[in-house]
Structure 1
Amino acid sequence: MILTLRHADGGFRRLRVSPDGRSVAAADGAERAQITASTPGSVDVALGTDRYRLPVTVQPDANGS
C-alpha cells in the first residue's frame, strides 16, 4: 500500500506500508525513512527535514499473536 502525505505548500511524500502494517519505507527512493517509536499507537517518521507522526495498526501474524 502507498500512503501519500501532502504538505500545505503543495509538496508531498509517498511511503510504502508493508502488508502487515509493521513498517514503512520511502516509496520514491529519494531518502531513507527513519522510524522511531512515539506515543503508544504511533510512530515518528523522518524523511530528510520532514517529520510525521503516524498512527500504527499492527495486524496479528499468522500464529495469531
Structure 2
Amino acid sequence: MDLSDAQWRKSTRSNGGGGACVEVADNLFGVVVVRDSKDPSGPVLAFGPATWRAFVARVVHRP
C-alpha cells in the first residue's frame, strides 16, 4: 500500500502529553489508515471507509 500521499492528522482524543496518540489518514481512495504517532514508520491498520465510519459512530455514541 502506497502511503506517500497520506495526509495524517492526530486524533482529537489523543493525549497531549505524548502518551497514547493515534493518527488517521482518510484522504486516500477506498481506505482509511491509522498509525501510532510515536512510530510513524511503523505498522498501520487499514479499514474500508464504511467500516471506519461504523467504528467512529460506535465510539462516539458509546453508552
Shorter-chain TM band:
0.3 to 0.5
Q: Give the TM-score, by structure 2 length.
A: 0.35
Q: Which has the higher helix share?
A: 2
Decide which structure has the larger Cα Rg and report it: 1
TM-score using structure 1 length: 0.35
More strand by share: 1
